Structure 1
Amino acid sequence: MIDHIELKTADLPASLHFYATLLAPLGYRLEVDGAVKGFGDGKTLDFFLALGEVPARDVHYAFNSPDRAMVDRIYAVGVQAGLALDRAPSLMAHVHPNYYAGFLRDPDGRLVEFVCHKPE
């Protein structure tokens, strides 16, 4: 349903580091390196960062992970990189029986989730 998303950031180098680190395990890499930075998986460009005023810090969005092990791996990458953690990966059965997610905070304070909807 969503084709792409562009986020404004107050600290472009810090945000580039955050997203490049956490999106790499999902196969995403920086593909557009101009004033607007674009991440893709070699087939699509669908996540962009640009320097600018951050309109809201209470934003929450999620990246789909292929399995629970990937959610754990991405969170571990965040721990190892010293990134801002929010909630360790866990099963959130109150959402639905197979909802497994971990949460970090980007440099602008937004809640970034990595989620798998599949059973173990």
Structure 2
Amino acid sequence: MNISDWKRTIYALLALPAFLAGPAARRRLALRWLGAEPRRGGFLASVAAFPIALLVWYLVGRIATFGFFWTEAGAAGSWGGPSLLGAWIVHFFCALGMAVVCMWALRPLTRAADLVNSSHDA
């Protein structure tokens, strides 16, 4: 995971709304987040990429706020419990594994959605 993967997740979240906003919005979005000019088509790839990017950012948000949802009643059944630290560590590594797979899947989807003459790593 590198900065290009994180930029790709932001782009995938915004690509579908950009399609609805028009070609100028698509162009600005692709240039800003991917450093590439958009090409024709790519709507289906954007539709497929959106829920994957949404999952990545959900996982990031959920792990970042894990302690806010912690209750002693739920500790006994939690992976890594009964301590908050143990449960957070186990959930962090599970989320990390899922985020890596999602980011890997976003590479070809974002390439299919808009990339032409990309300046980022694939």
TM bracket, shorter-chain basis: under 0.3
Whose Rg is larger?
Answer: 2
TM-score, length basis structure 1: 0.26
Identify, as 1 or 2, the structure richer in strand: 1
TM-score, length basis structure 2: 0.26
Identify, as 1 or 2, the structure richer in helix: 2
Structure with more relative contact order (C-alpha pairs < 8 Å, separation 6 or more): 2
